[in-house]
């Protein structure tokens, strides 16, 4: 019987072969969404660099029991009149305006009554109210965006606030996706009999690769013939940094991907003690990687997360997104392997809960088990039962 390698060990082997990805390009921040930033972004100055108003009101020097102020002028946002206040004088100040010299507090417009040039305080505020301190957002020298971060809308906003227009990002690795199998048809092709199916693997994996930071290249579907499979693999590697195949890696007579890899490439991972996808193979051709994933769609997508994303994240300097959750129901282990089981996540009362509502038991072909933003429950090999209410490990999908 085959001795399956522990998943952790297989990742250690994979990571030991990875050299840094140093291919970088500059892009406009309007085109940087979902790209991985290639440099640390450090604050070059305090922000704000001066005290600012957090709302519309009147800036003054706070004193205990103060009930009336004298209005001397106003200060719109973007203006710097060099105004100073003292005693009971105040300046009408607007959201984002500088706090005048000598002032330390702002009282909102709704807390006062204006009578001529006098401001009558109806509802006092504590000292320092509604004043944005120097460096409130960030201080000079602070790390704002770490190298390897996947740029989201908030990072784009921060870069814009910093005045950055072009940002360095990692070039997307070119990832070829090759679906194999005589039973599968491409989209738009008619099914000739009930033994045939439309391929979903190449479409799903391409979408996953894009979200992971790669540039997907969808190859033509290849039928189960040894010469065609070998030819397609060699051809795909000519234009790609990574090749992902689906199907043809198990123990069947027509699993020609396995044979092509064994004969022509250096195998670094030959199966792992996991469910689904224990027949995973990872090979190298020079500095290029080949991930041979199972043919069942659920298995293929899970394996893409468990292995391909690890490679891409290692290149980008990003981390795998593991979180903790509370399981909402009992879970009985289904295999003697380390399991990755699709679950739903629910956020309630400050906690993250995992449940299996709507998840179907069966083979690794059930694509709909991964819909509705499913995540993966990590069930250790030695675990046989998880009781409701236990804290569990969750691996987020893409």
Query: Which pLDDT tens digit goes with each residue over 242-261?
Result: 999 998 776 555 578 888 88
State residue 4's pLDDT score: 94
Residue 282's DSSP bridge partners are 269, 291
Neighbours of 44 (CB within 10 A): 11
Percentage with pLDDT > 90 across the chain: 83
Query: Could you give the count of Cα atoms lying within 13 Å of 72 in the half-sphere of its Cβ?
Result: 14
**Tokens found for residue 197:** 């199916």
The torsion region of residue 336 among left (phi > 0), alpha (psi -120 to 50) and beta comes to alpha
Mean pLDDT of 64-85: 93
Per-residue pLDDT of 172-209, as tens digits, reads: 999 999 999 888 888 888 888 988 888 889 999 999 99
Rounded Cα–Cα distance for residues 388 and 199 (Å): 37
Region class of 315: left (phi > 0), else alpha (psi between -120 and 50), else beta: alpha
Q: H/E/C letters for each residue in 359-389?
A: CCCCCCCCHHHHCCCCEEEEECCCCCEECCC
Residues of the chain with CATH 3.90.105.10: 24-46+137-170
Task: Please say whether the beta carbons of 371 and 301 come within 8 A.
Answer: no
CATH topology of domain 52-132: Molybdopterin biosynthesis moeA protein; domain 3 (2.170.190)
Q: How far apart are CA 59 and CA 102, in angstroms?
A: 9
What is the architecture, at CATH level 2, of domain 24-46+137-170? Alpha-Beta Complex (3.90)
Q: How many residues does the chain have?
A: 398
* 322-396: in CATH 3.40.50.2000: no
Give the integer Cα–Cα distance in Å for 197 and 203. Answer: 14
CB-based contact 327:333 (threshold 8 Å): no
Cα 56 versus chain centre, distance: 37
> pLDDT, tens digit, for every residue of 302-348?
999 999 999 999 999 999 999 999 999 999 998 999 999 999 999 99
Residue 234's pLDDT is 92
Residues of the chain within CATH 2.170.190.11 domain(s) are 52-132
- Res 361: pLDDT: 86
For 7-23+172-316, CATH gives 3.40.980.10
Positions of CATH 3.40.980.10 in the chain: 7-23+172-316
Q: Average model confidence (pLDDT) for the chain?
A: 94
- HEC profile of the chain: CCCCCCHHHHHHHHHHCCCCCCCEEEEEHHHCCCCEECCCEECCCCECCCCEECCCEEEECCCCCCCEEEEEEEECCCCCCCCECCCCEEEEECCCCECCECCCEEEEHHHEEEECCEEEECCCCCCCCCEECCCCCECCCCEEECCCCECCHHHHHHHHHCCCCEEEEECCCEEEEEEECCCEECCCCCCCCCCCEECCHHHHHHHHHHHHCCEEEECCCECCCHHHHHHHHHHHHHHCCEEEEECCCCCCCCCHHHHHHHHHCEEEEECCCEECCCCCEEEEECCEEEEEECCCHHHHHHHHHHHHHHHHHHHHCCCCCEEEEEECCCEECCCCCEEEEEEEEEEECCEEEEECCCCCCCCCCCHHHHCCCCEEEEECCCCCEECCCCEEEEECCC
Q: Is the dihedral of CA 204, 206, 208, 211 positive or negative?
A: negative
pLDDT for res 139: 98
Residue 54: other Cβ atoms inside 10 A: 15
Confidence of residue 365 (pLDDT cuts 50, 70, 90): confident
User: What average pLDDT does this structure show over 134-157?
Assistant: 97
pTM of the model: 0.87
Averaged pLDDT for residues 78-82 = 88
Q: CATH 2.40.340.10 residue ranges in the chain?
A: 322-396
Q: Give the pLDDT score at 172.
A: 97
């Amino acid at each position: 019987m085959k001795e399956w390698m522990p998943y952790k060990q297989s990742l250690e082997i994979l990571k030991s072969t990875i050299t840094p990805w140093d291919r970088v390009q500059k892009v406009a921040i309007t085109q940087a969404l979902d790209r991985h930033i290639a440099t640390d972004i450090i604050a070059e100055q305090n922000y704000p660099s001066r005290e600012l108003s957090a709302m519309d009101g009147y800036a003054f020097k706070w004193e205990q029991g103060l009930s009336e102020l004298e209005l001397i002028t106003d200060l719109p946002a973007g203006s710097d009149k060099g105004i100073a206040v003292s005693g009971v004088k105040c300046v009408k100040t607007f959201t984002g305006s500088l706090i005048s010299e000598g002032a330390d507090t702002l009282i909102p417009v709704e807390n006062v009554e204006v009578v001529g040039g006098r401001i009558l305080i109806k509802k006092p505020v504590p000292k320092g109210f509604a004043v944005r301190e120097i460096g409130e957002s960030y201080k000079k020298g602070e790390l704002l965006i770490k190298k390897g971060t996947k740029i989201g809308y908030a990072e784009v906003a921060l870069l814009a606030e910093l005045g950055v227009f072009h940002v360095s990002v990692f070039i997307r690795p070119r990832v070829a996706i090759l679906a194999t199998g005589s039973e599968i048809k491409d989209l738009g092709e008619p099914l000739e009999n009930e033994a045939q199916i439309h391929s979903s693997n190449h479409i799903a994996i391409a979408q996953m690769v894009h979200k992971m930071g790669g540039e997907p290249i969808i190859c033509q579907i290849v039928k189960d013939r040894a010469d065609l499979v070998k030819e397609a693999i060699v051809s795909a590697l000519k234009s790609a940094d990574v090749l992902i195949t689906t199907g043809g890696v198990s123990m069947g007579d027509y699993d020609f991907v396995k044979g092509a890899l064994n004969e022509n490439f250096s195998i670094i991972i030959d199966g792992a003690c996991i469910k689904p996808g224990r027949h995973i193979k990872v090979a190298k051709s020079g500095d290029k990687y080949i991930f041979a994933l199972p043919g069942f769609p659920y298995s293929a997508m899970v394996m893409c997360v468990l292995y391909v994303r690890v490679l891409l994240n290692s290149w980008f300097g990003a981390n795998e997104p593991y979180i903790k959750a509370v399981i909402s129901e009992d879970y009985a282990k289904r295999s003697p392997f380390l399991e990755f089981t699709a679950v739903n996540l629910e956020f309630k009362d400050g906690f993250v809960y995992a449940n299996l509502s709507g998840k179907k038991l069966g083979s690794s072909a059930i694509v709909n088990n991964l819909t509705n933003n499913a995540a993966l429950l990590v069930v250790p090999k030695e675990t046989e039962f998880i009781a409701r209410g236990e804290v569990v490990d969750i691996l987020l999908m893409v």
